[in-house]
Amino acid sequence: MGRRLVLLLGVVVALGGCTTVDVARVPDAPQGRGVFVSTSDLPGPYKSLGVVQATRRGVLLFGAVDPAGTDLQADLDDQLLPQVRMMGGDGVINARFQQTQYTLPTRLLFAILFFIPLPSEVTITGEVVKLEAGAQPPGLAGSAAAQAR
Amino acid sequence: MRLLLLLPLVLATGCGATVRGSPLSSRPPEPQAGPAIYLSTGSAPRPYRTLGFAQVTGYGVTVAGFSDVGEAGLDGTIRGTLSQVAATMGGDGIINIEFIDENPPTEVERVSDLSETVSSAFSGKGQVKTRNRSVVVTGEVIQFLSAP
């Protein structure tokens, strides 16, 4: 009885502190001239090419299998960046993102209830810009200023 | 069984939707080009005072998967309604604009809605598949303190 209680408490403690983490890496920008994506603003000069929203929607099978690629990385690589390149942009500023996240207990539950798929969605929004002469992508201007000091 | 095997393939393809809107204000703002109200997802290019905040929700419907009807477009809400709201408040611009199209149909969903409508028409029911849409836009209405 005591062991079961300890085990139960262990499970409760372990699951109580569940955290879900999702990350996305932006592609390397050689010489700072690739397509950049930033959540920050840009001092300019730049030309606005328009706002864009990239969404991917699907389901998680067995609580974990994501055939539609509804994560930040897939949305960035397969949806947003091709659109930015198609618009002729140098990058995206003021990006905002949101991805459906499920805790491990939820995923485990739906792995057991495998016949019920979990809805999943990821969205990235931002403003596509083209840099004009003298402008630098976010981050590089700060680095230059720091070096100058 | 075949349908079950096809399910992952269907789920893996065409599940993305990209929504675009027209250009906002460039920096520095171009006097002749662009909207009269300064619009930016970022900050202001020169000193300003805040007049207030605005949130606009545009509602619409996607009919049969291919026809978007109503006000649920990024251009209509940002460059249209939000700009009008700023002008009404006596503002020169809107900064820190954030936007979300809450239910953009993916390619799979558009095709599905269209095929459902067509099959309904052929079967004599005549039901048209519709999908509710809404775009929410927020921003800070500002008034510039100095001339450009």
B58 part of a folded domain: yes
Average pLDDT over residues A86-105: 90
CB B94 within 8 A of CB B141: yes
Instruction: Tell me whether residue B64 is in a domain.
Output: yes
Which of B8, B16, B96 comes nearest A67 by C-beta? B8
3-state secondary structure of B30: coil
B20 lies in some domain: no
Sole residue written with tokens 């929004």:
A125
Chain A interface, best mutation among B22, B24, B27, by max A CB count within 10 A: B27
The total number of structural domains that make up chain B: 1
Q: Give a yes or no: residue B14 inside a domain.
A: no
| Residue pointed to by tokens 């558009």 | B110
pLDDT at A22: 79
The CATH number given to whatever domain includes residue B83 is 3.30.110.70
State which residue of chain A sits closest to B109, comparing Cα positions: A57
Contact B9, A49 (CB under 8 A): no
* B29 domain residue, yes or no: yes
Low-confidence ranges of chain B (pLDDT < 70): 1-14, 32-35, 147-148
Do the Cβ atoms of A50 and B22 come within 8 Å? yes
Residues 6+ apart with CB under 8 A from B56: B77, B81, B82, B85, B136, B137, B138
In a domain, B130, yes or no: yes
pLDDT tens-place string over residues B50-92? 888 888 888 888 988 888 888 888 888 898 889 999 999 999 9
Whether residues A53 and B16 touch (CB distance < 8 A) is answered with: no
Domains of chain A and CATH, by start: 32-132 (3.30.110.70)
Of residues A120 and B36, more confidence is placed in A120
Report the chain B residue with the minimal C-alpha distance to residue A80: B18
Supply the ipTM of this predicted assembly: 0.73
User: Does any domain span residue B3?
Assistant: no
Least confident of A85-89, A140-144, B11-15, B41-45: A140-144
Chain A stretch 10-29, residues whose beta carbon is closer than 8 A to a beta carbon of chain B: none
Residue type, B25: S
Domain that holds residue B61: 25-144
- pTM summary value: 0.78
Asked if B100 lies within 8 A of A67 by C-beta distance, the reply is no
Condensed to tens digits (0 to 9), the pLDDT of residues A7-46 reads 655 555 455 557 677 778 887 765 555 788 988 888 879 9
